Amino acid sequence: MANKLLSFVPGPVEIRKEILDATAQMEMLTRLGGSHRSPEFTAFFKEVLERLRTFLNTKHRVYVSTSSATGLMEAAIRNGAQKRVVNFACGAFSKRWHDITKLCGAEADLVEVEWGQATTPELVEKHLSSGRYDAMTVVHNETSTGVMNPLEDIAAVAKKYPDVVVLVDCVSSLSAVRVDMDGLGLDMTLAGVQKAFALPPGIAVCTVSERLFEKSKNIPNRGYYFNFEELEKYAQRNAQTPTTPTMSLISGLHEQLGRMLNEGAEARERRHRAMAARVQDWARKRFGLFANEKYLSPTITNVRNTRKEKISTDDFRKALRERGLLIANGYGKLKGECFRVGHMGDLTLEEVDTLLRTADEILGA
């Protein structure tokens, strides 16, 4: 068994040593005056928020939440759902947003497409034109299937319905590909940092439009933890958070945003698309792709194991692991049928090549 593992699991992803060093809590506490209310920490956190807004190229409000991304999916509903929500789903995570919506007590309808297919602008038009909804949820990149939805086209349709707030799960796309939340009129985009941001799990980030922020003020029973007004009140109080944040991860985010700004959003997207193209080409030759070719994800490739009789997904993953390389099983009902290769965060084309070369050795290809 190799003693050093390189991870191509689509989250939590491979983390670089510099980032782990930056999250080292003791250093953080010493450097920042020991408390999240200290002037040292708030100045540091202010810089994090500025870097985040700059990297995402947005004028919307940005928040960092001490929760995983699911917390912010709940925040979206608590702050944005008043009349009735339409949850568009194309896989496990987008479908879970429907469960979250109902568990938050909101009226909601689920509009689902088959796994491997995308939520289309036509489908969105069909439902928004009913006039029944004041909020919609959609996933940008469905991690369970390897589909990237056509967000620009979906947003163009949604713009025709100004009473509907557009809530977008960008968990496995944000920072890997550019999302023009301001231009597209996306009222909320959210992501956990254990995906393309390549940090350890534990915090999540989001952007919130003025329109959603104003709307939220009139929605009762938003609770406290994910209440935008509370988050904003503290953000205005010299960049603070209502509750104790995960300071070590915020230190990691500070470091990572610095690195991301150095690389540049465009170059980062190019690197992700190059890695995706390499994995997709390989998957087409050796196996098959699960997702509709029109909507292949730039961060995750879901490979259909068409060689199951010769090598099971478990044996293939095990053989890679013995050689120091991690990939993920198929998600949920696709376990065994598929395996997933994450190509996001700080991974490089050279590392992807190592994975594919090793996979070929195992397959004897």
The residues binding ligand PLP (CB under 6 A) are 11, 68-70, 93, 139, 142-143, 169, 171-172, 192
Q: Is residue 30 exposed (0-12), middle (13-18) or buried (19+ Cβ within 10 Å)? A: exposed
The sheet that has 61-65: what strands, in order across it?
61-65, 204-208, 188-192, 165-169, 135-139, 85-89, 108-112
Smallest distance, Å, CB 200 to ligand PLP?
12
What's the CA gap between 245 and 248, in Å, rounded?
Answer: 9
Q: Which is nearer to ligand PLP, 172 or 305 (CB)?
A: 172
CA distances (Å), 67 to each of 185, 190, 205, 295, in order? 25, 12, 9, 29
Of the pair 191, 239, the CB lying nearest ligand PLP is at: 191
* Angle 146-333-101 from CA coordinates, rounded to 5°: 75
Min. distance of Cβ 237 from ligand PLP in angstroms? 27
- Complex with ligand PLP: residue 170 or 359, whichever CB lies closer: 170
Of 93 and 228, which has the nearer Cβ to ligand PLP?
A: 93
Facing residues of 81 across strands?
none
Give per-residue burial for 111-139: e unless 16+ CB within 10 Å, then b. bbbebbbbbbbebbbebbeeeebbbbbbb
Q: Which is nearer to ligand PLP, 42 or 194 (CB)?
A: 194
Comparison of 69 and 164: residue with beta carbon closer to ligand PLP: 69
Which tokens belong to 154? 């979906």
User: Cβ of residue 245: shortest distance to ligand PLP, in angstroms?
Assistant: 16
- Residue 160 Cβ, how far from ligand PLP at the closest point, in Å? 26
Minimum CB–partner distance for residue 26 and ligand PLP (Å): 26
**Minimum CB distance to ligand PLP smaller for 42 or for 143:** 143
CB burial readout 149-163, b (16+ within 10 A) else e? bbbebbbebbeebee
Compute the least distance from the CB of residue 189 to ligand PLP, in Å.
12
What minimum distance in Å lies between the beta carbon of 298 and ligand PLP? Answer: 14
Give the Cα separation of 360 and 282 in Å (integer): 9
